[in-house]
Amino acid sequence: MRALVYKDKLRFEKNYPMPRTRDGEALIKVLKAGICTTDLEITRGYMSFSGVLGHEFTGVVEDAGEREWIGKQVVGEINCPCRRCSYCKRGLGNHCPQRTVLGIAGRDGAFADYLTLPTRNLHVLPKNIDHTRAVFIEPLAAAFRILEQTQRPHASREESAAIQPDTEVAVLGDGRLGLLVAQVLSLTGCRLVAVGKHPEKLSILSERGIKTATKDEFYRHGGGRFDYVVDCTGSPSGLETAIELTRPTGTIVLKTTLSHAKAQSVDLTPVVVNEINLVGSRCGPFPRAIEALANGEVDVEPLISRTYKLDEGVEALGFASEKGILKVLLDMGDV
């Protein structure tokens, strides 16, 4: 099969070995896939991954032990836990030490004609979500993870949401993830502002009635302090800015990993003095992301910068790494 492979360097291969399914897995013909910042960072050494890149995809099941899956158009969750260890038994499969992760750790990914995933990872795509929008379900689910993590424990269902209409929230960063996170948080009716550097990107949110400000505008008008600050900047300075903007006893949600790893030093004294909560946030609920796309609660099409064919994949990742580019897709098409 064709595949976009990273092994010391990125290259397109015409005759890469077909994946083999294990018990409980499905063979999926990939239709479209999305390029993520994680894919770009893997080509710079992140996770020491070697193999087929890609984890945002939509496709059609061609074979599965559970025959009812065959022919279904699907998207898939990327973490494949062992289901046996203490983490898995506690419902923490996404943190299983033995897990493989599609296109990121120990499992070939979606930038190919075919991939395999356990059928329990799959979700059938509703007919009113086309393949282009479906590619966004994985990162959109990651955005919805914030709402899962900010539920009040032991509260009634009506009072469980910590982010309410009177909650002050700031989203930092106007890249791919920041634009999705801002749209998701706006669904709560909270007092939200999205802060970024690029007016043309922020306009995607403004057109949906979401308050935005460039970083310069934000500080020129006095800045502010917030109950929740979500860092989607991908910048080493993002955490520092988030700490500065968070009220005492407020919460910072970190949605990017690489920026904080690169940060040489961050003064955490205000975190202690102001009793700020730090929350790491990663993969999220696919059913809620699918529902949001199906109902039109979130608009992803303005985020698409360009679509390439699979055999143009090396060029596509190069384009995706340029400044100002949002989502780049790969269309597998026909051989």
* Helix intervals (H) in 10-150: 37-42, 86-89, 131-134, 137-149
Answer whether 106's CB lies under 8 Å from 93's CB: no
20 and 108 housed in the same domain: yes
Cα of 102 vs its chain's centroid, Å: 13
Residue 189 belongs to some domain of the structure: yes
Q: Please tell me the distance from the alpha carbon of residue 82 to that of residue 142, in angstroms, as a whole number.
A: 22
> Please, is 205 exposed, middle or buried when counting C-beta atoms within 10 Å of its C-beta (0-12, 13-18, 19+)?
buried
Pairing of strands 304-309, 100-102: unpaired
Residue 295 belongs to some domain of the structure: no
- The stretch 108-116 carries a mean pLDDT of 98
What is the extent of the structural domain holding 212? 144-280
Residue 45 belongs to some domain of the structure: yes
Residue 128 belongs to some domain of the structure: yes
Positive or negative, the CA dihedral 74, 78, 83, 86 is negative
Residue 191 belongs to some domain of the structure: yes
Count of domains for the chain: 2
Q: Please tell me the distance from the alpha carbon of residue 142 to that of residue 230, in angstroms, as a whole number.
A: 13
Residue 294 belongs to some domain of the structure: no
Pairing of strands 191-196, 212-214: parallel
Judged by DSSP in three states, 249 sits in: strand
User: Average pLDDT of the chain?
Assistant: 93
Give the largest Cα separation in the chain, rounded.
Answer: 60
Give the model confidence (pLDDT) of 216-228 as tens digits.
999 888 888 999 9
Model confidence band, residue 155 (pLDDT cutoffs 50, 70, 90): low
- The stretch 260-279 carries a mean pLDDT of 83
Domain with 198 in it: what CATH number? Answer: 3.40.50.720
Domain with 8 in it: what CATH number? Answer: 3.90.180.10
Model confidence band, residue 211 (pLDDT cutoffs 50, 70, 90): very high
User: In this model, does residue 156 exceed pLDDT 80?
Assistant: no
